[in-house]
């Protein structure tokens, strides 16, 4: 204890949120009698102007030097009350919050129990705050560059906003071309405008923008540092093509020794395996950068060291370079936007729908590619057996809203299914059957779109499909796929024979999302989507300062929402770096050198690389600017030589003892 | 027994006798100390009785060194008497300081222990199921045995303790250093651990410099199940050496003999619970995926965490403290 504590305790009603369960007056009365407490009050909304004013007035009137606010989670209002205290001349870190809303009122039903629990937490906070000391925030300059990971429509949109604001953007994409999932679409709902007509200009703008450093075929491998000052390592895989020389003419692709498409060595990634590709290829006609790439696992020369190298001879610009090695690029940025997108659920996990078993069962993304003018059939809808389908079933909620797979709604499928219904009908004239559980048409123009497609003669059948089978019971079913479904509107079990089935798979986080989350220190939710700081009021911030989220990486989204979140994330990133500095929380750890034995337990544990070991003196040292206050080292230090501001052993122990003393009925 | 010399007393409670040996291990140095002080009470070595102690004035003894945990009513009685007669009380050795090895008995209820000792131990033949009795009449005389208490407790739970000398037993070097400190008149703050280091054992361990840059362990191993390199940090080799969490001052005797530190010097200042701190660092450096099976597998070499991590300090730990009733 630095000085004689004079504590003010403020118990918030939070309207009925707290006061509806907790007897707030009784808690304030209890607090007023605790040693060190000078004044204790209850108030309707502590976070309001009036509540803050109350604290400020009391600080001046009673010469308070410690404040306890018993209200909501510090996540919400710690900053509010610290600011209020600061306004009255008190060091903001002499404020502590007891969370009696989330941890008491919202979870403890019995009013008496809840009141006792609130008292215990308040007593803990009172005991703890006695050990608080004034702390100073540190101002650290920020790097005015932005890293964006993932160059789908979200990453592209965010990059353009930041770049147009004059900031340097590193846009990292693991595929050889930017564009993401949207580049595979032919049309977009609800307006049915051509996807590539609206996406390609943006992709080209990215490629030619002087402020955007485009790093395709690249992945982030290491992230160090903290808000405003991230050090990022990016691995750029070799394309075996000199990017600055290649003009994307495609002569090399043409000249490659592989001639018969049937024997091309690899399934084509962009068209989701609907065709095969050569070892040297350009991902798709509108690819950006329009530069060829050589797949070392497929290229005869790179694999076996021997080849006629017809590609090299064909290249008039001598752009092919088999000696290219992977490059590690170090960049320093102030803000990071994660826009790593999604993938669709592996449909083989739902064997009842026959994907992978019946060739004419397609996933929705495959059909998108099939419809695309740049796709393997030039936009012609032709089945794998070469027939043109005369009847098509589209099945919603495949793996979504399903206890066995994904409990959530994947949000985009209803509209995408209607879009596919429209396009498939338009291209083939086929009868279209759509099987849905609920039709969710929530966005701007979506309900109208639903009505339009419904009016086009699509058969909308409400019911969850139980099975796709080829076991025909009648002559009409021979050679068809039969959709078995309970039509819940007609109240009948139906069998509908079709030529083609389209499954609308659930969305899930992109491959490697968990690893990426670990790399960037962001949290993920139960379904591995990146977690936003607050579902309503901080939807683009992650829980890690300086790292923002955009697009489907945070949860399923359609294109308008992805772009909206991306531009929001870009705005947040700009707000952060334009300020020029960040104030670091002073909750950092430090080493008491008198006690440090040099055991090195802590050194390897710091997730931020903030601990250095001084070999000469045999002591650990924490680099203040790198410490994020996570507490790992302080907890691990076997000598109690590492302490963390605001979480010192004596503060935490005092809080525990305070809580226990109250529970003893003290 | 000259009047001018400071008087000291030595007493043993529930102990193995090792601490007494440790005093004798001072060898010639013991004679030097004996010249400077007057030993008025030391049941193991001199013929002084409780009555002799009672005859002394309160506070007449400069310092009493008490080893062993408190397990019998007799211990309580004697240490309270010594407290009254002494200016300073020093808890000597791990049992007196933290409960010691024999406080591992606190894992079992008193009745179970007595029953086991009287009837169930493999070496016992007791068909009549004769049980310990505190009072017995023999030939018209009532004999009384001290009561076996509910738990073994450290000395400072019975009387106020001024200083602690750690070790199982304290090494001669630590003992000498502590006595020098006490006789110097320049006393450290009350409640300090004296004679030992303020840093953990790693600080003085000859193997500390062999630690890798990042100290991470894939799996803990039992000494008997592992082939170890005695020239390299044992912890880095997966032996759960307790050196990092244990107060130094012993000169790394066990390590020099190829054995891991088992923690007899107890925690550093500011550590609330020795075993809890040990769990913290052993778990922190465990480099396995955060899945239950993987973690359990990696911990197979630590089959008895309480016995291993609280070997000397169970009575002092936060474990088995009763929750207060409302």
* Same domain, yes or no: A599 and A460: no
Residue in A592, A596, A600, A630 to test binding to B, most B beta-carbons within 10 Å: A600
The set of residues, in sequence order, having a beta carbon less than 8 Å from that of A53 and lying 6+ positions away, is: none
How far, in Å, are A48, B103, B251 from residue B107 at the CA level? 53, 8, 31
Point out the domain boundary residue: A137, A160, A183.
A137
Rg value, chain A, Cα: 31
Residues 620-649 of A with CB under 8 A from B: 632, 635-641, 649
Q: Shortest CB distance from B214 goes to which of A599, A604, A635?
A: A604
Dist. CA B129–CA B145, nearest whole Å = 19
Percent of chain A whose predicted confidence (pLDDT) is above 70? 99
Q: Which residue of A has its CA nearest to B214?
A: A604
Tell me the C-alpha distance between A547 and A570, whole Å: 11
How would residue B326 be classed by pLDDT, with cut points 50, 70 and 90? very low
Residue A308 in contact with partner chain B when CB distance is under 8 A: no
Q: What percent of chain A has pLDDT over 90?
A: 92
End-to-end CA distance of chain B: 55
Asked if A638 lies within 8 A of B213 by C-beta distance, the reply is no
- Per-residue pLDDT tens for A63-109? 999 999 999 999 889 999 999 999 999 999 999 999 999 999 999 99
Q: Specify whether A309 is located in the same domain as A358.
A: no
For the cut 90, the answer to whether the pLDDT of residue B225 exceeds it is no
pLDDT at B325: 42
Distance between CA atoms of A9 and A128, rounded to whole angstroms? 13
Strand order in the sheet with A481-487: A465-469, A481-487, A492-498
Cα angle A655, A660, A663 (rounded to 5 degrees) comes to 130
Q: What does the alpha-carbon distance between residue B28 and residue B48 come to, in Å, rounded to a whole number?
A: 23
SS3 A557: coil
Predicted confidence at residue A627, as pLDDT, reads 85
Determine the residue of chain B that is closest to A597 in CA distance. B203
Residue range A149-153: mean pLDDT, rounded: 97
A418, A469: one domain: yes
Measured CA to CA in angstroms, residue A363 lies from A393, A628, A630 at distances of 12, 44, 43
CA–CA distance, B217 with B197 (Å, rounded to integer): 27
Same domain, A310 and A425: no
Residue of B165, B188, B191 lying closest to B265 (CA atoms): B165
Cis check for the bond before A579: say yes or no (omega within 30 of 0): no
pLDDT for A96-145, tens place per residue? 999 999 999 999 999 999 999 999 999 999 999 999 999 998 888 999 99
Contacts of B216 in chain A (CB under 8 A): 604
Strands, DSSP E only, in A546-602? 547-549, 581-584, 589-591
Which residues in B lie closer than 8 A to residue A665 (C-beta atoms)?
A: 326
Tell whether A616 lies on the interface with B, counting CB pairs under 8 A: no
Rounded to 5°, angle at Cα B299 from B295 and B304: 140
The CATH number of whichever domain residue A456 belongs to comes to 3.50.50.60
Number of domain units in chain A:
4
Query: How far, CA to CA in Å, does B12 sit from each of A102, A205, B54, B75, B292?
Result: 54, 86, 17, 8, 45
Which of A598, A570, A142, A394 minimizes the C-alpha distance to B199?
A598
Long-range contact pairs involving B142-149 (C-beta distance under 8 Å, separation at least 24): B146/B72, B146/B73, B146/B74, B146/B75, B147/B72, B147/B73, B148/B71, B148/B72, B148/B110, B148/B113, B148/B114, B149/B70, B149/B71, B149/B72, B149/B73, B149/B76, B149/B110
Quick check: A609 contacting B, CB < 8 Å?
no
The label of the residue with tokens 């090792």 reads: B18
What CA–CA distance (Å, rounded) separates B284 from B216? 8
Using a CB-CB cut-off of 8 Å, the residues of chain B touching A596 are 199
Quote the minimal CA–CA distance from B73 to chain A in Å. Answer: 29
Query: A307 in a domain, yes or no?
Result: yes
Nearest to A640 among B213, B216, B270 (CB): B270
Mean pLDDT (chain B) is 93
Q: Would the CB atoms of B216 and A604 count as touching at under 8 Å?
A: yes
Secondary element (H or E) of residue A280 = strand A280-281
Residues of B in contact with A636 (CB under 8 A): 280-281, 284-285
Tokens of residue B129, six digits: 């199921």
Using pLDDT thresholds of 50, 70 and 90, give the confidence band for residue B303: very high
Contact by Cβ (8 Å): A611, A621? yes
Q: Tell me the pLDDT tens digit for each residue of A409-428.
A: 999 999 999 999 999 999 99
- The confidence score (pLDDT) of residue A499 equals 97
pLDDT at A3 over 80: no
Confidence (pTM): 0.72
Q: Which residues contact A384 (CB under 8 A, 6 or more apart)?
A: A359, A360
Say if CB A148 and CB A132 are below 8 A apart: no
A371-410 residues labelled b (16+ CB within 10 A) or e (exposed): bbebbbeeeebebeeeeebebbbbbbbbbbbbeebbebbb
Cβ-proximal residues to B282 (8 Å cutoff; 6+ apart), any chain: B220, B240, B302, B309
Nearest to B208 among A598, A653, A663 (CB): A598
From the list A133, A87, A97, the residue with the least C-alpha distance to A118 is A97
Tokens read off for B58: 């309160």
pLDDT of residue B238: 95
- pLDDT score of A30: 97
**Which DSSP state fits A335?**
E
Does pLDDT of B324 surpass 50?
Answer: no
The reply to whether residue B198 touches residue A594, judged by beta carbons under 8 angstroms, is yes
CB contact under 8 A, B245 and A594: no
Using DSSP's 3-state secondary structure scheme, residue A585 falls into: coil
Interface residue of B260, B285, B309 to substitute, partner A, most A CBs within 10 Å: B285
Strands (E), B112-256: 135-138, 141-144, 148-153, 163-165
Would residue A113 count as lying in a domain? yes
- Report how far Cα A240 is from the mean position of its chain's Cα atoms: 32
Under an 8 A CB cutoff, do A653 and B272 touch? yes
Is the Cβ pair B202, A635 closer than 8 Å?
Answer: no
The CA distance from A13 to A51, in Å, is 11
**Pick from B198, B216, B243: which is nearest to A595 by CB?**
B198
pLDDT digits (tens, 9 = 90+) for A500-544: 999 999 999 999 999 999 999 899 999 999 999 989 989 999 988
Q: How far A613 CA lies from chain B's nearest CA (Å)?
A: 9
Determine the pLDDT at residue A666. 55
Q: For the domain that residue A634 is a member of, what is the CATH number?
A: 3.30.70.20
Mean pLDDT value across residues B252-263: 95
A228 touches A140 (CB < 8 A): yes
Residue A496 and residue A347 share a domain? yes
pLDDT over 80 at B2, yes or no: no
**B4 band by pLDDT with thresholds 50, 70 and 90:** confident
Pairing outcome for strands A500-505 and A335-338: unpaired
What pLDDT is attached to residue B3?
A: 60
Domains of chain B (ranges; CATH) run 7-101+151-184 (3.40.50.700), 110-149 (no CATH), 201-316 (no CATH)
Picking from B200, B208, B326, the nearest residue to A665 by CB comes out as B326
pLDDT at B230 over 60: yes
Does residue A605 share a domain with residue A488?
no
Mean pLDDT (whole number) for B176-188: 90
Contact A599 B272 (CB under 8 A): no
Residues 49-108 of chain A with CB under 8 A from chain B are none
Q: Are residues A302 and A348 both part of a single domain?
A: no
- pLDDT value, residue A226: 85
Of A354-368, A478-492, A555-569, A622-636, the poorest mean pLDDT is in A622-636
Spatial contact of B185 and B211, defined as CB atoms under 8 Å apart:
no
What is the model's pLDDT at position A432? Answer: 97
Residue A206 counted as domain residue: no
Dist. CA A335–CA A379, nearest whole Å:
41
Contact A317, A245 (CB under 8 A): yes
Judging contacts by C-beta atoms under 8 Å, the chain B residues touching residue A632 are 284
Who contacts A140 (Cβ-Cβ below 8 Å, separation ≥6)?
A: A228, A229, A581, A582, A583, A584, A625
Question: What mean pLDDT is predicted for residues B152-170?
Answer: 96
ipTM confidence: 0.87
> Do A475 and A414 belong together in one domain?
yes
pLDDT, residue B322, reads 63
Same domain, A351 and A451: yes
Contacts of A663 in chain B (CB under 8 A): 324, 326
**Of A508, A530, A565, at which residue does a domain stop?**
A508
Burial (CB count within 10 angstroms: exposed 0-12, middle 13-18, buried 19+), residue A63: exposed
Closest CA to A467 of A448, A482, A489, A445: A482
A603 part of contact set with chain B, CB < 8 Å:
yes
Residues A356 and A469 in one domain: yes
Interface contact A653, partner B, CB < 8 A? yes
* Containing structural domain, residue A97: 7-137
Q: Strands A187-188 and A168-172: what pairing?
A: unpaired
Nearest by CB: A640 against B216, B271, B325: B271
Report the CATH number that the domain containing residue A44 is assigned in CATH.
Answer: 3.40.50
What is the C-alpha to C-alpha distance for residues A544 and A521, in angstroms, rounded to an integer? Answer: 7
Structure confidence at residue B183 (pLDDT): 84
Residues of B in contact with A660 (CB under 8 A): 324
Does the residue A310 lie in any domain? yes
Residues A380, A463 within the same domain: yes
**What pLDDT score does A42 carry?**
97
Average pLDDT of the residues in B8-20: 95
Q: Which tokens hold the place of A90? A: 């008190």
Interface residue of A594, A639, A656 to substitute, partner B, most B CBs within 10 Å:
A639
Residues of B in contact with A594 (CB under 8 A): 198
The answer, for A316 touching chain B at a CB cutoff of 8 Å, is no
Write down the residue that tokens 């020029």 correspond to. Answer: A580
Q: How far apart are the first and last CA of chain A?
A: 22
For chain A, give the number of residues: 666
Could you tell me which chain B residue has the CA closest to the CA of A614?
Answer: B213
Residues A301 and A348 in one domain: no
Cβ–Cβ contact A614 with B under 8 A = no
Nearest CA in chain A to B277: A638
Give mean pLDDT, residues B30-56.
92
Which chain A residues contact residue B203 at CB under 8 A?
597-599, 618
pLDDT top residue among A140 and A198: A198
Can you list the pairs that B316-320 forms with residues at least 24 positions away whose Cβ atoms lie under 8 Å? B316/B97, B316/B98, B316/B99, B316/B103, B316/B154, B316/B266, B316/B274, B317/B273, B317/B274, B317/B275, B317/B276, B318/B272, B318/B273, B318/B276, B319/B275, B320/B106, B320/B107
Which of chain A's residues have a Cβ under 8 Å away from the Cβ of B284?
Answer: 601, 605, 632, 635-636
Q: Is the pLDDT of residue B1 over 60?
A: no
């Amino acid at each position: 204890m630095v000085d004689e504590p004079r504590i003010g305790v403020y118990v918030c009603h939070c309207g009925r949120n707290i006061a509806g369960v907790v007897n707030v007056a009784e808690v304030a009365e209890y607090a007023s009698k605790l040693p060190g407490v000078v004044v204790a009050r209850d108030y309707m909304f502590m976070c309001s102007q009036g509540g803050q004013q109350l604290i400020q007035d009391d600080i001046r009137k009673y010469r308070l030097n410690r404040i306890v606010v018993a209200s909501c989670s510090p996540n919400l209002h710690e900053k509010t009350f610290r600011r209020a205290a600061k306004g009255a001349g008190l060091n903001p870190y002499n404020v502590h919050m007891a969370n009696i809303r989330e941890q008491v009122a919202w979870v403890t039903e019995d009013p008496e129990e809840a009141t006792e629990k609130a008292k215990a937490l308040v007593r803990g906070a009172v005991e703890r705050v006695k050990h608080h000391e004034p702390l100073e925030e540190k101002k650290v300059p920020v790097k005015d560059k932005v890293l964006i990971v993932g160059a789908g429509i979200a990453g592209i949109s965010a990059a353009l906003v930041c770049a147009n604001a004059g900031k340097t953007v590193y846009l990292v994409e693991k595929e050889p071309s930017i564009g993401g999932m949207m580049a595979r679409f032919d049309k977009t709902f609800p307006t049915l405008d051509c996807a590539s007509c609206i996406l390609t200009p943006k992709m080209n703008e990215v490629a030619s923008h002087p402020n955007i450093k485009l790093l395709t075929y690249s992945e982030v491998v290491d992230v160090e540092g903290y808000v405003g000052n991230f050090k990022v390592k990016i691995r750029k895989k070799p394309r075996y093509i000199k990017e600055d020389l290649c003009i994307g003419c495609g002569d090399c692709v043409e000249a490659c020794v592989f001639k018969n498409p049937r024997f091309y060595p690899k399934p084509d990634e962009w068209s989701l395996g609907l065709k095969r590709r050569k070892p040297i290829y350009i991902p798709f006609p509108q690819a950006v950068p329009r530069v060829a790439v050589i797949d070392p696992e497929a290229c005869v020369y790179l694999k076996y060291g021997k080849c006629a190298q017809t590609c090299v001879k064909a290249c008039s610009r001598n752009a092919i370079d088999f000696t290219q090695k992977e490059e590690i690029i170090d960049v320093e940025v102030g803000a990071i936007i994660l826009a790593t997108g999604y993938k669709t659920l592996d449909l083989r996990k739902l064997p009842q729908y026959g994907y992978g078993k019946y060739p004419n069962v397609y996933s929705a993304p495959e059909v998108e590619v099939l419809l695309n003018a740049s796709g393997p059939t030039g936009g012609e809808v032709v089945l794998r057996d070469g027939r043109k389908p005369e009847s098509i079933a589209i099945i919603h909620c495949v793996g979504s809203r399903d206890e066995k797979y994904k409990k959530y709604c994947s949000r985009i499928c209803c509209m995408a299914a209607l879009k596919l219904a429209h396009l498939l009908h338009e291209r083939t004239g086929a009868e279209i059957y759509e099987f849905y559980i609920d039709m969710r048409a929530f966005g701007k123009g979506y309900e109208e779109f639903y009505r339009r497609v419904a009016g086009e003669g699509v058969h909308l059948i409400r019911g969850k499909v139980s099975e796709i089978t080829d076991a025909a019971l009648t002559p009409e079913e021979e050679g068809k796929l039969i959709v078995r479904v309970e039509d819940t509107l007609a109240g009948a079990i139906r069998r509908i024979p079709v030529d083609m089935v389209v499954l609308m798979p659930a969305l899930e986080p992109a491959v490697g999302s968990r690893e990426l989350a670990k790399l960037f220190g962001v949290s993920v939710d139960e379904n591995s989507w990146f977690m936003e700081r607050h579902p309503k009021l901080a939807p683009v911030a992650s829980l890690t300062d300086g790292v923002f989220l955009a697009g489907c990486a945070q949860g399923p989204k359609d294109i308008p929402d992805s772009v909206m979140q991306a531009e929001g994330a870009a705005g947040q990133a700009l707000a952060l770096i334009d300020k020029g500095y960040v104030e670091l929380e002073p909750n950092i750890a430090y080493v008491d050198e008198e006690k440090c034995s040099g055991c090195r337990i802590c050194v390897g544990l710091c997730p931020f690389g903030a601990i250095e070991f001084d070999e000469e003196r045999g002591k650990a040292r924490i680099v203040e600017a790198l410490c994020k206050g996570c507490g790992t080292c302080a907890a691990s230090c076997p000598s109690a030589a590492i302490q963390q501001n605001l979480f010192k052993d004596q503060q935490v122990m005092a809080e525990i003892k305070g809580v226990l003393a109250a529970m003893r009925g003290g | 027994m000259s009047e001018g010399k400071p008087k000291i007393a030595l007493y043993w409670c529930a102990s193995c006798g090792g601490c007494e040996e440790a005093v004798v291990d001072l060898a010639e140095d013991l004679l030097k100390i004996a010249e400077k002080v007057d030993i008025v009470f030391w049941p193991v070595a001199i013929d002084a009785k409780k009555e002799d102690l009672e005859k002394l004035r309160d506070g007449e003894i400069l310092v009493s060194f008490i080893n062993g945990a408190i397990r019998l009513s007799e211990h309580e009685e004697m240490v309270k008497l010594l407290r009254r007669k002494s200016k300073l009380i020093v808890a000597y050795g791990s049992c007196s300081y933290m409960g010691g090895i024999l406080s591992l008995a606190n894992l079992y209820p008193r009745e179970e222990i007595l029953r086991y000792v009287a009837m169930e131990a493999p070496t016992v033949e007791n068909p009549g199921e004769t049980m310990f009795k505190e009072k017995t009449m023999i030939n018209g005389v009532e004999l009384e045995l001290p009561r076996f208490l509910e738990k073994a407790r450290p000395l400072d739970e019975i009387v106020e303790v001024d200083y602690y000398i750690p070790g199982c037993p304290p090494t001669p070097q630590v003992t000498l250093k502590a006595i020098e400190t006490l006789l110097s008149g320049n006393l450290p703050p009350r409640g300090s651990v004296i004679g030992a280091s303020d840093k953990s054992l790693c600080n003085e361990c000859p193997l500390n410099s062999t630690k890798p840059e990042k100290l991470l362990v894939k799996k803990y191993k039992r000494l008997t199940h592992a082939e170890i390199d005695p020239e390299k940090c044992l912890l880095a080799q997966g032996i759960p050496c307790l050196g990092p969490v244990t107060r130094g001052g012993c000169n790394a005797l066990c390590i020099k003999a190829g054995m891991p530190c088992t923690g007899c010097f107890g925690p550093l200042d500011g550590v609330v619970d020795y075993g809890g701190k040990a769990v913290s660092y052993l778990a922190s450096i465990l480099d396995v995926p955060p899945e239950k099976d993987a973690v359990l597998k990696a911990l197979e070499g630590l089959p008895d965490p309480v016995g291993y991590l609280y070997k000397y300090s169970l009575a002092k730990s936060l474990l088995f403290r009763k929750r207060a009733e409302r």
